[in-house]
Each structure stands twice: as C-alpha cells, then as structure tokens.
Amino acid sequence: MIPPREHGLPESPAETDAGLERIAQAAAEVVNCIRVLEKSDSNLVSEALDGREFIEFEHYPENDVYDPETHAQYYFHAHPQTRGEWNDYGHFHTFLRPKGIPKAFRPAALPETRADDAATDPAFHLIAISMNRQGRPVRLFTTNRWVTAETWCAAPDAIGMLDRFVIDLAKPSWPLNRWISAMITLYRDDIERLILERDARIAQWRAAFPDRDVFEDRALEVTSAMAIDLDPRLALIRSRLGLMD
C-alpha cells in the first residue's frame, strides 16, 4: 500500500493564493458536511445506505447518484473481506459521463480489450474513496478497467475531467453530495498523482505479463492508492493560511 503523503497544496507564491483559497473552501465544506451529519446522529455512509440493508456489491443508492447537468455520478458499495490489504468497510466510486467531458475527447484505444457493454454505456472512473465504519474517509485509490467496467481513458484525459466532477443535487443527501464534490477539490493534486501512477502501473503490468489482457486481469485490481487523514490535512491548510489554533 502506498503510504500517507502530504500532496495537494499549492506553494506559497502569490500566484497560488487563489488555488490555496479554493482548497481551503473545499476543506471547510468537507468538515461542515461531516459535522452536520454527526450532529444529526448520521454519517456519510449512513446517508448513502439510507436505511437499506448493507449487502456486498449492491450499489447505494440503488440507481447511483447522477447529476443531469454536470453528468457526474457516484455510488457506494463494499467487497467481501477477502482482498487483503485492500479490505475496507466500503467505498465510493466517482465517474463522469460522456456529456460532461469536452467534445474533442476520445476514449483510449485498447486493442487487447474485448468489446463489452462499457463501449455502449460509457462511464469514466475518476477516483474511489475508502471509508471506515465511522463513516470517515481513510484512503483514495484507482482501479483497473475491469473493476467498474469503465471506458478507459489515458491519465491526461482523466485528470482533465476532475474539475468537472460536481454533484449539485439535494437527493439522496445534500451534505453527502456536497462532501464528495469537495473531496475531489481538497485532494485534487493527490488524485492527479494517483491517476498518473495508475497508468504507470498498467504499463509495468503489461510489460511483465505480455500474454495477458492487462485491463481484464483479475490479479490487478487496485492500481494506485494512498491513505488519507483529514486532521493533518486540515492542520496543514491552516498553517499555510497563517491561521493559529
């Protein structure tokens, strides 16, 4: 597993002030969404489950969350606890649909990957967010193509989609939707690095196993990952802003 890192914050020159302010606003949004849910005896995972029985591989909410204006999409689900170091309580998968991306964009050509339903129903995976039992985020990770049956795109195109991920809906949960949108901004640079590492891992795997279809290889599931902890990240932001506790 990739260890925790402190990326994602601009350097101190004046030209980065706007970027730091944007990250600080996202941090405040993340904190407030968690705060108001916990004050209401709920949490981010509970909001996604909405009282439904928690069954492995089921999507929560049932039909995912899709913003018809931004074409961003996400869902929460869990895997059986047989994945070793990648076990988690559950995780959110985030996507962008074709109408939300630039018209000039074209999916990556994958000659070794067979055609499937993803080709006719494109969804471009951005990042997954692992959660713990307390409903707090603990890890970011990327996945191989087969995991979500996504339509694959190269790292530069996937990175170009990140700023377009916004869920501006009241349902199924206003704070959950605002939180997941803010998380992409708060960890924007980290996610970019993870997507680049994803492509590097795919290239390494293809070179090591040239006789396999790398994108369908069940031996390669998680392609990059990093642990996250909100408290140190928030403390770092406050320090960069010159704020004292």
pLDDT surpassing 80 at residue 20: yes
15-39 average pLDDT score: 90
**DSSP states along 62-86:** EEEEE-TTT-EEEEEE---S-SGGG
The CA dihedral of 67, 177, 5, 188, to the nearest 10 degrees, is 40
Q: What is the pLDDT of residues 115-145, one digit of tens each?
A: 444 455 689 999 999 999 899 999 999 999 9
Q: From CA 207, how far away is CA 149, in angstroms rounded?
A: 22
pTM above 0.85, yes or no: yes
Q: Which sequence spans correspond to the domains of the chain? A: 17-240
114 compared with 8, residue with greater pLDDT: 8
Among 135, 131, 134, 142, residue whose Cα is nearest residue 196: 142
> CA-CA distance, 67 to 165, in Å (whole number)?
9
Phi then psi for residue 126, to 5 deg, are -105, -65
> For residues 86 and 73, which has the higher predicted lDDT (pLDDT)?
73
Give the closest residue to 7 by CA, choosing from 228, 160, 201: 228
Residue 126 parent element (H or E): strand 124-131
pLDDT beyond 90 at 16? no
Please check the confidence at residue 165 and state whether its pLDDT lies above 70. Answer: yes
How do residues 225-244 score in pLDDT, each as one tens digit? 999 999 999 988 988 887 75
The angle formed by the CA atoms of residues 207, 213 and 216, to the nearest 5 degrees, is 125
- Both tokens of 22, joined, read 């944007």
